[in-house]
Structure 1
Amino acid sequence: MRTGALGTVLVAGGGITAWCAAAALRRRAPFLDVTLLATPVSPDALADRIACTLPSLLGFHGDLGIGEGDGIARTGAGYRLGTRFSGWAEGLADYAHAYGRYGRPFGPTSFHLHWLRAARTGAAGPFDGYSPAAALARADRFVPATPDTPFADHEYGLTLDPPRYHAMMRAFALHVGVREIAGEIADVRVDARGFVAAVTLADGRAVGAQLFVDATGPEARLRGALDAARDDWSRWLPCDRVLLADGPAAAPPVLTPVMAHPAGWRWTSGQQSGFGYASGHLGDAAAARVLRNACGQAPDAPIRIRPGTRPEPWRGNVVAIGDAATEMEPLEWCNLHLALSAIDRLVTMLPGAVPTPVEAADFNRQSLAEANRVRDFLAMHWRTAQRRDPLWRAVAAAEPPASLAHTLAQWTERGRLPFHEEETFARDAWAAVLIGQGCLPRRLDPLIDAVPAASADAAMAALAADIAAALPHLPTHAAFRAAQARYLTR
């Protein structure tokens, strides 16, 4: 080991998040001695339990060299092109937030502004009708991005079978050289500098390292030993409980349905169904009945959420990731995404043998910016929803975070969407939700007049026709998965 170089890392946690962290550190920094302390998986760790993922998981696989054969077909995963929201705006049709562009760029302004102008005169169809990914998903069809077609640049996430995915990531991590030890954490010893010196296990063993990664879930067994500071988001993200129910194996939908409920929202993703709710508006027993009636399966015990984030996930020589850093309802499926983003950030900012405040400060700045902007995106769903239930009215009436207030002010005035660093969701995603929920701007950006309305309308009609003509020639989701499975097992 070079003098002053980082050599040993201990990842604490036994779930998907922990194994992803250990695998990435060892794979991308093979000079590290990485040990995973396989503690019992926290029942409240949503990042380890939610089946739906964002497209970032595929990029994470690519960085590790995991191909689709291992990452998808052999773990029983299905493809996801987005989410379909129903009941979030009473009196309006459902809408899709799809992972790809909406419309085609023409002129100096964004496509959504041309659509908004056309919608005022009745010349536009539904906004997601101009999204190739949304059209593909609504038809229950799937292909990866295909050049020289309308379906050339969409992204896709996955619907996981969490136990099978966990087994795959564990096997991969062990294959690349991660060492595994099992045990219960009994104590965390902190030295005079405020660094973790060692973790004491229930059997008396002491495990040390130069850097500790806390993936123990919301209990944050390591990072919580240093301080308890956290930002509270409960006034903007009201769901403090999640129920999950697993049923018989079923093909996951390409467009995950999310249905609004007076006390929250529920979803189904094939084998897994779920319900996020505010316990102050619906008791646990009543919530269990709602989910059981919807999916026919008895749910597990409620998962408790404290919506919020640690402003300093990295402190001293401990880095919190996943639910140990940020807790939020799984709306838009960001839980695992934030963990993977933190893992990538840690790999690119690896410290020396002794982490310095400069490294931790920049990691924390970027992590907080990302978490806050994800919070804004989720809170935007609640604030702009058009429902009359007491919970929904109360959340919509709460003073929004300053960054969200700025975005909504720009949108409602001129249809503009400002740029933010560390933004998880593209402007098209923001526009899809805002338009889908009936939150329309009072006026439009004056640059829209650079393209005559007739020309814009003709371009929009041509795009819709191109999508409609290509769609029947594409395979169904089931057919694509079956063909892929046959190819991989030849």
Structure 2
Amino acid sequence: MRPPASLLIVGGGSAGWMTAAAVSRAFGPRLSVRLIEDPQAIGDSGTLAPFDATLPSLSGFNASLGLDETALIAGTGATFRLGTVFRDWSRRDRDYIHPLSEIGGTLEGVPFHHYWLRLKAAGKAPPLEDFALAAVAARAGRFSRPSDDPRSVTSTMAYGLHLPVAPYVAALRAVALRQGVEVVAGAFAEVERGAEPDTLAAVTTRDGRRFEADLFIDATGPAADLIGRLGATHVDWSRWLPCDRIVASTVPGPLGPPLTEARAVRNGWLWRVPLATGMGSARISASAFAGGTTEGTGFTNGRRSQTWIGNCVAIGLSAATLEPLEASGLHRVQSGVSRLLGLFPTGGPMTAGAAEYNRLMAAEADRLRDMLILHYHANARTGEPLWDAVSQTPPPEELAHKIRMFSSRGRISLYDEETFEDAAWVSVFLGQNVIPRRYHPLADHRPLDEVRGQLERMRAVIARAAEAMPTHAAALSGSPIAPALSRVS
């Protein structure tokens, strides 16, 4: 058997065009890439809103396509992102930041948060976010790209973007077309099954045209029009994540800080994404707790049982749907594309590659699911039906184990295919007021005053580094990187 010579992507949007741009760049003229795009399609194939907050990984993906980030930001109206501030989740009138940076630093082999927990137990702990440069800078409305010098405190942080989806897709489309991708305007109608089990031979459009390919990409969004017809079922997560409606718009306003906002409210949460052209705003609600509302666009949190069947691969919302609480939408598209390139068919049977792809994508989606559930399950908003229900619903066992380990001794237990590392879990656990009963015994090996002094010096270095950064507006206009400050005072 020969490797696939033709690839057909059904669906445009971020999932379709990220796939088209990356695959055509990787294979060049050796692979014919065609994309069917419905001009009347509503919504995006990779995100639930017309704007998104991204994780740091997207910068590398864009660079691999030859997209200059400064030009991309200017051309799309994007802004920088240093994390998310969660308001009223652990309790009303309280907030915390999940930063895109390290928190403190490992001291004598002991993770930083154990020393912070020791100070907290002694009643002498400053706010945890004071030890995360991204959080301090975001609060101050400042931004600088990280330094490449590991001796600089600015090397401890990363950043994402706040991104209007449509102009970003237009940039991807331009890249793909320059690389020879053929685009067909048409609305999907039906699939034609192949001679081999669980394969596709062709796709037809509503006007009767028929398109064959060796490999098919399902970028049709939550409908999953291709992979669903091959038998991939929907794994429903709504008992843990009951929000199922989103109403989104962009309103004019001044530039906000480099910080996404997620504010818990009675029947869901409010999302604010600062853009150069205004503020992206969305209400994400649970209709079962909001009088059965049908306002906005419906969705169901969950994933497909399989994302690669036969010669069909689902990418984006056709593979998994997660509300945008932890900025994973475009990351999951990128991850799906990257894993596809790594497991691209070589000419033999696709069974082994498909099985590995399914394993990796399911594990990644499940771990992202757990991070979102933690926000809901560990809430302290008592007396409200939605929040009472999600706090009382037992979490998945993998998350339950994480909670037990952290609650007992402050240990972060990571599984394979985690998107978020230790610092992220620490910030959310402690932000949601999940306080360990014990800290690591090695954190007691030094006198308390000595530990407090070292942490105060660390805190001061971080504060000075944030103050030295340009404002968010100046950074967007192309100001140079902030002066490097040593991580050691």
Tell me if 1:234 matches 2:243: no
Letter in 1 for 2:457: A
Aligned-pair CA distance for 1:77 = 0.9
Aligned counterparts of 1:162 and 1:250: Cα–Cα separation in 2: 20
SS of residue in 1 equivalent to 2:52: coil
What's the counterpart of residue 47 of structure 1?
47
Aligned-pair CA distance for 1:164 = 1.4
Q: Match for 1:170 among 173, 193, 203?
A: 173
Aligned counterparts of 1:72 and 1:140: Cα–Cα separation in 2: 18
RMSD of aligned Cα (Å): 1.9
Aligned counterparts of 2:447 and 2:360: Cα–Cα separation in 1: 41
What's the counterpart of residue 134 of structure 1?
135
Q: Normalization by structure 2: what TM-score?
A: 0.92
Cα distance per residue 1:392-437 (max 9 Å; x no partner): 1111111110100110010001000112111101111111011112
SS of residue in 2 equivalent to 1:331: helix
Aligned-pair CA distance for 1:63 = 2.2
Letter in 1 for 2:179: V
Cα distance per residue 1:289-320 (max 9 Å; x no partner): xxxxxxxxxxxx61211111112100111100
Aligned counterparts of 1:207 and 1:252: Cα–Cα separation in 2: 46
CA 1:42–1:316 in structure 2 vs 1: closer, same or farther (change >3 Å)?
A: farther
What's the counterpart of residue 487 of structure 2?
none
Give me the identity figure in percent: 39
Give 5+ residue unaligned stretches, structure 1: 288-300, 486-490
Tell me if 1:198 matches 2:202: yes
SS of residue in 1 equivalent to 2:201: strand
> Retained in 1: the 8 A contact 2:142–2:257?
no
List aligned pairs for 1:425-436, cutoff 5 A. 425-436=420-431
CA 1:252–1:167 in structure 2 vs 1: closer, same or farther (change >3 Å)?
A: farther
SS of residue in 1 equivalent to 2:154: coil
Q: Match for 2:8 among 10, 20, 31?
A: 10
What's the counterpart of residue 275 of structure 1?
283
Aligned-pair CA distance for 1:171 = 0.8
Q: Match for 2:336 among 338, 342, 350?
A: 342
Aligned-pair CA distance for 1:484 = 5.5
Structure 1 residue ranges (4+ consecutive) displaced by more than 4 angstroms after TM superposition: none
List aligned pairs for 1:66-465, cutoff 5 A. 66-90=67-91, 93-146=94-147, 147=149, 148-192=151-195, 193-248=197-252, 250-270=254-274, 271-283=279-291, 302-353=296-347, 355-388=349-382, 389-465=384-460
CA 1:455–1:92 in structure 2 vs 1: closer, same or farther (change >3 Å)?
A: farther
Aligned counterparts of 1:110 and 1:185: Cα–Cα separation in 2: 52
Aligned-pair CA distance for 1:91 = 5.4
Count of paired positions: 469
Letter in 2 for 1:7: A
Aligned counterparts of 1:86 and 1:5: Cα–Cα separation in 2: 51
> Retained in 2: the 8 A contact 1:82–1:256?
yes
Letter in 2 for 1:62: A
Aligned counterparts of 1:105 and 1:68: Cα–Cα separation in 2: 32
> Retained in 2: the 8 A contact 1:7–1:353?
no
Aligned-pair CA distance for 1:355 = 4.5
What's the counterpart of residue 467 of structure 1?
462
Letter in 2 for 1:314: W
Aligned-pair CA distance for 1:51 = 2.2
Aligned-pair CA distance for 1:71 = 2.8
> Retained in 2: the 8 A contact 1:46–1:330?
no
What's the counterpart of residue 488 of structure 1?
none
Aligned-pair CA distance for 1:354 = 5.7
Aligned counterparts of 2:25 and 2:391: Cα–Cα separation in 1: 45
> Retained in 2: the 8 A contact 1:44–1:305?
no
CA 1:41–1:109 in structure 2 vs 1: closer, same or farther (change >3 Å)?
A: farther
CA 1:181–1:484 in structure 2 vs 1: closer, same or farther (change >3 Å)?
A: farther
> Retained in 1: the 8 A contact 2:92–2:381?
no
> Retained in 2: the 8 A contact 1:9–1:35?
yes
Q: Normalization by structure 1: what TM-score?
A: 0.92
Judge which range, 80-89 or 252-261, deviates more.
252-261
SS of residue in 2 equivalent to 1:114: helix
Cα distance per residue 1:260-304 (max 9 Å; x no partner): 10111102113310011100111476x9xxxxxxxxxxxxx6121
CA 1:91–1:259 in structure 2 vs 1: closer, same or farther (change >3 Å)?
A: closer
SS of residue in 2 equivalent to 1:461: helix
Letter in 2 for 1:23: A
CA 1:114–1:41 in structure 2 vs 1: closer, same or farther (change >3 Å)?
A: farther
Cα distance per residue 1:105-136 (max 9 Å; x no partner): 21222111111111111221111110011101
Aligned counterparts of 1:234 and 1:56: Cα–Cα separation in 2: 28
SS of residue in 2 equivalent to 1:260: strand
Aligned-pair CA distance for 1:17 = 1.4
What's the counterpart of residue 485 of structure 2?
none
Aligned counterparts of 2:360 and 2:368: Cα–Cα separation in 1: 12
Aligned counterparts of 1:332 and 1:41: Cα–Cα separation in 2: 26
